[in-house]
Structure 1
Amino acid sequence: MVNDHARKIAELKGKIKSFPDFPKKGILFWDIFSAIADGATCKLLQNLLVETIRTKFEGVEAIVGLESRGFLFSFSLAAELGVSSLPVRKRGKLPGEVVSHKYDLEYGSDVLEIQKNTIRPGLKCLIVDDLIATGGTIAASIQLLKACHADVIGCLAVIELESLHGRKNIPDGIPVHSLIKYD
């Protein structure tokens, strides 16, 4: 089973392309879209994410997808698991009453929001995104969900850029799992 899992991860990793100097000089961009453009790889990724959730995150009641590539996974994972799919979006993109959380970026700040009526106290939420870089968006999303009295049971990403040390920005006690790690 372990060898089969490692083989599947290696297969997925082989489909992810990198683009130097995108979106600006000095950045190496790891492109999840290159992997999911292929139907078989898309299914492989879906299966790996579901397997990971079932083995590492017990009791998930909601998959929280982060803007915007986290949305690619949150709905299909939630449908497969029979749980809620909830989006966290940038300010002004969700209708109705929202809860907001302002957070700092490298240059400036931003605001994340979630619809207030989608969260009940104690809701067991798993945050899902395509990439952990500096960890700032995930950390802000955790604070947002905690402000709504949700229970964040973990974070799951397809890719983690370890050289950016994003895990240090995620609060202690919140399990983090990534399928693929790059230096």
Structure 2
Amino acid sequence: MKFQSKETNAKLDIIKKHIASFPDFPEKGILFWDIFSVLQKPKIFKILKDVLIEAVKNIHPPPDCVVSLDSRGFLFGPLISLEFDFPFVPIRKKGKLPGEVVTSTYSKEYGEDALELQVGSIKQGQRVLLVDDLLATGGTLSCATELIDKIGGEVVACLVIIELPKLNGRKLINGNILSLIEF
């Protein structure tokens, strides 16, 4: 995502330089991009927070709530929720949420998994900003949008910090995808 502001693009360059990569994790042949390396540097983490907030200000129509994905999405969704006074809703791995849930399964580059969302956590027609750290093959975000649709929410944007365009994850997502950094 390129911003209008040269200052914001310079901030993205700083953030990108601080994202670590780990070859052959979690399986041989996978290059893992680790956002935790940014969080370990408070000044860089603050820059990332500022860029996330700026990105959300440019989403139209504006969201009514923020949904993020287990587990690294939980590091960023609440920051956005607090800044804009939006409710925060988690999507978790199967078996981690109490109460009535909807479930959806997805394939990822190194296996299969399932996600769940609590029924009633999003109101019918509520505009949702979906937040995660990474868009790779698109399985996780696609699964999350399916869950939000199942309970009546409307995804107005998917905001990810890192996108791996060579894996074509965008093809699985119907809607507005905002990625800050590409590798």
Q: TM-score, normalised by structure 1?
A: 0.93
Match of 1:144 in 2: 147
2 CA distance for matches of 1:39 and 1:107? 31
Match of 1:84 in 2: 87
Matched residue type, 1:24: E
2 CA distance for matches of 1:108 and 1:24? 10
1 CA distance for matches of 2:39 and 2:108? 29
1 CA distance for matches of 2:105 and 2:33? 27
Q: TM-score, normalised by structure 2?
A: 0.93
- Give the C-alpha shift of residue 107 in structure 1: 6.7
Match of 1:62 in 2: 65
1 CA distance for matches of 2:12 and 2:110? 34
Matched residue type, 1:180: I
1 CA distance for matches of 2:137 and 2:103? 21
User: Runs of 5+ in structure 2 lacking a partner?
Assistant: none
Among 83, 94, 99, the alignment partner of 1:96 is 99
1 CA distance for matches of 2:14 and 2:111? 38
- SS at the partner of 1:83? coil
2 CA distance for matches of 1:107 and 1:44? 31
User: Runs of 5+ in structure 1 lacking a partner?
Assistant: none
Superposed CA RMSD in Å reads 1.4
2 CA distance for matches of 1:57 and 1:99? 28
Match of 2:130 in 1: 127
